[in-house]
């Protein structure tokens, strides 16, 4: 089973580090992992042209075909984002918007497991609102959303490598994803 991780940061740093920590948990529990990094992806904005609603291919020529293919293959998705002005980055929002074909063309993310990670400049720096935005995308796609067994997901403070409590919430969220995949049955979450 594949666990896909998306880092919504346009630069290398805390979000990628936390995503890697979550994917290490999944890998250590026997799951395949794949990283999709906004710092490396070229994804344009959705213009609501309607092509995907007609079953047509999106006219934007960028990396989104690769992103959507990985998401469609995944049994679970872990999304990490820094807090940018109280929510996810514009780059991550563009990815969320561009997954519309997965919804319109057969609800391809439905019943996949999802978890969120957010990192901010202070302990109460907007992480919960950022996780809420990630969860909203997951709910709209029909995903099964998990937290960290106590709260909403992985919540960390910069610098993430030094945030012991934050790292614990990231590991707990990743373990919750793996626990649910094990309960569903390896292969059972894929459509």
Q: Could you tell me if residue 54 is inside a domain? A: no
Q: Could you tell me if residue 8 is inside a domain? A: yes
Angle between helices 127-140 and 90-98 (to 10 degrees): 10
Residues 129 and 144: their CA atoms lie apart, in Å, by 19
**What value does the mean pLDDT take over residues 16-24?**
98
Sequence-distant (≥ 6) Cβ neighbours of residue 41 within 8 angstroms? 62, 63, 67, 91, 95
Task: Name the residue with tokens 């793996």.
Answer: 178
Predicted confidence (pLDDT) per residue in 23-39, tens digit = 999 999 999 999 999 99
| Predicted confidence band of residue 187 (pLDDT cuts 50, 70, 90) | very low
Q: Could you tell me if residue 85 is inside a domain? A: yes
Q: Which of 50-59, 73-82, 125-134, 174-183 has the lowest mean pLDDT?
A: 50-59
Q: Is the pLDDT of residue 186 over 70?
A: no
Tokens of 83: 């807090």
Residues 25 and 149: their CA atoms lie apart, in Å, by 15
Least Cα distance to 155 among 140, 145, 166 occurs for: 166
What is the helix (H) or strand (E) element at residue 182, kind and residue range? helix 164-184
Q: Could you tell me if residue 45 is inside a domain? A: no
**What value does the mean pLDDT take over residues 134-153?**
96
Q: Which domain holds residue 12?
A: 2-39+62-183
**What value does the mean pLDDT take over residues 69-73?**
98
Q: Could you tell me if residue 49 is inside a domain? A: no
What is the helix (H) or strand (E) element at residue 15, kind and residue range? helix 14-28
Q: Could you tell me if residue 32 is inside a domain? A: yes
The vertex-13 CA angle with 11 and 17, nearest 5°, equals 130
Q: Could you tell me if residue 50 is inside a domain? A: no
Q: Could you tell me if residue 48 is inside a domain? A: no
Average pLDDT, the chain: 95
Contact 83, 120 (CB under 8 A): yes
Residues 163 and 161: their CA atoms lie apart, in Å, by 6
**What value does the mean pLDDT take over residues 68-87?**
97
CA distances from 81 to 63, 85, 167 (A): 19, 12, 14
- The domain total for the chain is 1
- What CATH number should be reported for the domain holding residue 127? 3.40.50.360
Q: What is the pLDDT of residue 185?
A: 83
Q: Which tops the pLDDT comparison, 120 or 53?
A: 120
């Amino acid at each position: 089973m594949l666990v896909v991780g998306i880092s919504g940061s346009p630069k290398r740093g805390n979000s990628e580090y936390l995503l890697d920590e979550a994917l290490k948990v999944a890998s250590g529990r026997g799951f395949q992992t794949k990283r999709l990094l906004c710092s490396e992806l070229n994804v344009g904005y959705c213009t609501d042209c309607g092509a995907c609603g007609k079953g047509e291919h999106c006219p934007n020529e960028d990396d989104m075909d690769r992103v959507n293919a990985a998401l469609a293959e995944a049994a679970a998705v872990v999304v990490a984002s820094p807090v940018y002005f109280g929510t996810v980055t514009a780059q991550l929002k563009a990815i969320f918007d561009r997954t519309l074909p997965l919804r319109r063309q057969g609800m391809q993310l439905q019943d996949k497991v999802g978890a969120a990670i957010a990192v901010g400049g202070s302990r109460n720096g907007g992480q919960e609102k950022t996780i809420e935005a990630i969860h909203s995308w997951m709910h709209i796609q029909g995903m099964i959303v998990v937290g960290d067994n106590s709260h909403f997901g992985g919540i960390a403070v910069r610098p993430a490598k030094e945030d012991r409590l934050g790292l614990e919430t990231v590991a707990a969220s990743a373990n919750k994803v793996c626990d649910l995949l094990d309960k569903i049955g390896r292969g059972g979450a894929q459509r």
